[in-house]
């Protein structure tokens, strides 16, 4: 499945800048669309509105990992950063829309 996203370069020094957003889309054998997106910004969330061609989306299930940039799991705090349910997606006439928080990895399962 073809996909693209509008991005901007972020980072303090030009030689170390990266795209603020990345995405990957695939279709499972049962027709389920899997959309995975990352937001590399440490402080900015982004509103995303998609267009999905030749598909009628009727349900969305999401999961997300998000925390501040230096967050980590340790032996003392093994569950500080965890996968959580994401229910901030709305089905639109053309696809879906959602806001991806700063410092996050989001997986959406579209049926």
Q: What structural domains does the chain harbor?
A: 9-110 (2.60.40.1180)
Place of tokens 């901030």: 88
pLDDT at 1: 86
pLDDT at 86: 98
Our CA angle for 30, 97, 109, nearest 5°, is: 20
pTM of the model: 0.92
pLDDT at 71: 95
pLDDT at 99: 98
Residues in the chain with pLDDT values less than 50: none
pLDDT at 2: 87
Could you give the CA distance from residue 67 to residue 42 in angstroms, rounded to a whole number?
9
């Amino acid at each position: 499945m073809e996909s693209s996203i509008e991005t901007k370069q972020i980072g303090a020094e030009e030689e170390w800048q990266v795209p603020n957003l990345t995405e990957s889309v695939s279709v499972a054998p049962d027709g389920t669309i899997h959309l995975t997106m990352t937001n590399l910004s440490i402080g900015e969330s982004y509103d995303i509105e998609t267009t999905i061609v030749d598909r009628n989306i009727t349900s969305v299930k999401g999961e997300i990992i998000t925390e501040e940039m230096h967050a980590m799991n340790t032996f003392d705090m093994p569950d500080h950063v965890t996968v959580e349910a994401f229910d901030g997606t709305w089905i639109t006439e053309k696809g879906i829309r959602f806001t991806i928080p700063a410092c996050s990895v989001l997986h959406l399962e579209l049926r």
